[in-house]
Chains A and B, each alone.
Chain A
Amino acid sequence: MGSFVNLVRNEWMKLMQRKSTWIMSIILIIAVFGIFGVLKWDYSHREESVGANTSEQRLQQQINTYEAQKSEAEPSSLEYKNAVEQIELAQYRLDEGLAPAEVGSFWHVMNTSSNFFSLIVLFVIIVASGILAHEFQKGTIKLLAIRPATRTKLLYSKYVTVLLFSVAIALLLLVSSLVASLIYFPYDSYTHLTWNGEAVSEWPAIFWILQSYLYAMVNVVVMGTIAFVIGALFRSSGLAIGITMFLSFATLPAMMMLRKYEWAKYILFAHNEFSMHLSQPFVDVTPLYSLIVIFVYLVIFHVLMYTSFKKRDIAV
């Protein structure tokens, strides 16, 4: 076990010694501060039109809109369920006097920060593609593989490092978003509400943010794993980045067309965008169902990668 920890330390050291890791981190920080700056500028110019009504009036408007949607939708459809949820939440806010997160307020902007996960997915794909493939491309795998550490340990020390990097870069996003929001936007208190189909519950605002981050992490792990597996199978980082990037762009429109079929819910790419469970899922399934499908696919990928990596010769 101690030796496995040492392997992970090694991988982490190599990752931190690479310039590209730092460039990615800096790009993320610049993107957060830059885009939040643009948002601040934008909101400060829109203020009059938004501020015209009180929050109560806007909640009432919201209820009316969703009531209309509800009456048009089939009672079994996703749209219907969603409308019911939105009405319940808005009504609860009116009854309890809990203000919604105003556009341009601290917590509202914090919540939009989860949009930066598209950047995080990209960075994790880059790291996961290269972490093993680079060793083959540079030939360093030889000196690594002739040590008292089995290939299984080598492989998984790298995978664990990819997961650690994913968490670290997500934390970096959280911290830089907090700092940027505090600098740019007025702080106000906010209570988050959820609806479980029967009752509404209240949550501190930070849970709202953490939940959106946690949901977004699912896609990071899925894409990171795909990139890692392809990198290990083909031993080429370029190929792994290319294929995984293609998948991350192309599957969304493809699933839009395929979602109407019953079997669509068995496809990984109907589930990897797990954040959809926070609004409207692609296919009519529970979050747990999505997690199970994802898990099954990841296990298959790992078995493929593991068997190939164990038995193939290293001839670089």
Chain B
Amino acid sequence: MTKSVVQLKGLRKDIKNKTIIHDLDLDLYEGEVFGFLGPNGAGKTTTIRMMVGLMKPTAGNVIIGGTSLLENYEKTISQVGAIVENPELYDYMSGYKNLIHFSRMHKGITKERIQEVVEQVGLTSRIGEKVKTYSLGMRQRLGLAQALLHKPKFLILDEPTNGLDPAGIREFRTYLRKIAQEEGVSILVSSHLLSEIELMCDRVGIIQKGKLIDIRTVKEESQETKWTFTVNQPIQAKDVLEQSFEGVDIETGEKSISISISQEEVPEYNKVLVEQGILVYGIENTKSTLEDEFLKVTGGEQVG
């Protein structure tokens, strides 16, 4: 792939003699949207805190754009924009004053740039009002605006869609893909929602109990669903279907067969089975492989 923008090298964090993050190694590439997936308490926020210098790593280093966060803090952090957990802003000031405030902390942010970002996040009509009066989603948008102001090379978003409405989420997704592709920004999005991560990320890292247990590319087929037919005679059912549909990949179980097909094809398959005298007791949509993995991690409790 292209060159890596962010490197985590043996990142570790101990709090009160307990290891919360275990020697994490990770490379993020230019123009890539990386999903950081894990159940509650897995260590996503802690990792992010170390990546932005809020917490000092017990061991390891964070390299961003070739410079080390620990050795050259000001230069390294100026390439980063972030939201860590909730975007807490100054609620006694207007959204605009909040942005002025953050813009003064970077070099060369013009009034025009602020205006541009405000438009991008869709806050133009309310930017002059006090943040106190904002809804959760509007705060999230303002949080995104402050992270984008200085055109960072690397954007870190910790559960960014929390509070956004469906239209807002879609807009947000499109926008992230756009800045990743057009401006080569590398983006890390954390979430415990698989569905969300799958839709917007190129790669996903699954973290559990402070360990990165798997990194995989979000492939097209992972979005294809698998259907399980519960039948009386799985072997025969397999034969029957293989005769009717060319090149179909069928797994047989003890009392079922699983086929990777789209929803539209399900009735046809069912019809064939029934016509051939096979008893179909049930048809079930099983999760994709990424979701299987994630379910194993989370114990199947947290997928929304």
Contact = CB atoms under 8 A, between A and B. Distances in A.
Interface of A: 3, 6-7, 9-10, 13-14, 17-19, 138-140, 142-150, 311, 313-315
20 contacts: A6-B104, A10-B104, A14-B90, A14-B93, A17-B90, A17-B92, A17-B93, A18-B92, A140-B89, A140-B90, A143-B84, A143-B143, A146-B82, A147-B77, A147-B102, A147-B105, A147-B106, A148-B78, A148-B105, A149-B74
The 6 residue pairs across chains A and B that have the minimum distance between CB atoms = A139-B88, A148-B78, A147-B105, A6-B104, A313-B55, A314-B54
Contacts of B102: 143, 147
B175 interface: no
Determine which residue in B74, B84, B101, B102 has the highest number of CB atoms from chain A within 10 A of its CB, and name it: B101
Nearest to A9: B104
Nearest to B75: A148
A3 B75 CA distance: 13
A313 B90 contact: no
Overall SS of chain A's interface: helix
B276 to A, nearest CB: 63
Interface residues of B, number: 33
Contacts of B106: 147-148
Determine which residue in A6, A139, A148, A150 has the highest number of CB atoms from chain B within 10 A of its CB, and name it: A148
Contacts of A17: 90, 92-93, 97
B202 to A, nearest CB: 24
Interface string B83-124: 011111111110001001110111100000000000000000
Nearest to B88: A139
Nearest to A138: B88
A315 B54 contact: yes
B86 A139 contact: yes
Interface of B: 49, 52-56, 73-75, 77-78, 80, 82, 84-93, 97, 100-102, 104-107, 143, 146
B74 A148 contact: yes
Contacts of A14: 90, 93, 101
Contacts of A9: 104
A256 to B, nearest CB: 42
A22 B49 CA distance: 36
A142 B77 contact: no
B88 A140 contact: yes
Contacts of A139: 85-86, 88
B54 A10 contact: no
Contact of B105 (A6, A19, A142): A6
A135 to B, nearest CB: 9
B195 to A, nearest CB: 27
Given A9-B104, A143-B143, 12 more contacts: A3-B105, A6-B104, A138-B91, A142-B54, A143-B87, A143-B88, A145-B54, A146-B80, A147-B102, A150-B73, A314-B49, A315-B54
A234 to B, nearest CB: 18
B77 A313 contact: no
Contacts of B54: 142, 145-146, 313-315
A180 B56 CA distance: 55
A164 B53 CA distance: 29
A214 to B, nearest CB: 32
B92 A149 contact: no
A147 B101 CA distance: 11
A144 B77 CA distance: 12
Contact of B53 (A6, A19, A143, A146): A146
A25 B292 CA distance: 62
Contacts of A10: 101, 104-105
Given A146-B77, A146-B82, A314-B49, A7 B105 contact: yes
B12 to A, nearest CB: 14
A147 B84 CA distance: 13
B56 A311 contact: yes
Given A142-B84, A146-B54, A146-B80, A315 B49 contact: yes
Determine which residue in A140, A142, A144 has the highest number of CB atoms from chain B within 10 A of its CB, and name it: A142
Given A10-B101, A18-B92, A314 B55 contact: yes
A7 B78 CA distance: 15
